[in-house]
Amino acid sequence: MSLIDQWCGEIPLFGLTPVNLTEAGNSTGRGRVLQKLRRQLRLGQSNVEVVLVSHDTLCTEAFKQAVAAFECERLLIADEAHNLGRENFVSDPPKGTLNNTSI
């Protein structure tokens, strides 16, 4: 069982429904899912969303841009955080839109 699958089993214990972005397929599919979540938050249909991604997806430019388009507070929780020391993450972590700080 992958860590993402494990988290998908744990998150509902906190009353939240996780979105496993690894099931969305390619970058286009992930973009569609994120766009839907962004719309739900913007329209007040949802107050909070939990999105689970792999480190490889987290470091893609498409994902970073999609996350930057969310006009709300974001929190990044990293499991297996030793991977976040990779040069591509350290040199260009995801940014927030309001003050361009790392999330």
pLDDT tens digit sequence for 37-92: 999 999 999 999 999 998 888 888 898 899 888 988 888 777 766 666 667 667 77
CB 18 within 8 Å of CB 8: yes
- The residues near 101 (Cβ < 8 Å, ≥ 6 apart) are 95
Residues 58 and 27: their CA atoms lie apart, in Å, by 11
Q: Which amino acid is at 100?
A: N
* Phi, psi for 39 (deg, rounded to 5): -65, -45
Domains in the chain: boundaries: 3-90
Looking at residue 40, its amino acid is: Q
Q: Within 10 A of 2 (CB to CB), how many other CB atoms are there? A: 11
| Residue 100: per-residue pLDDT | 45
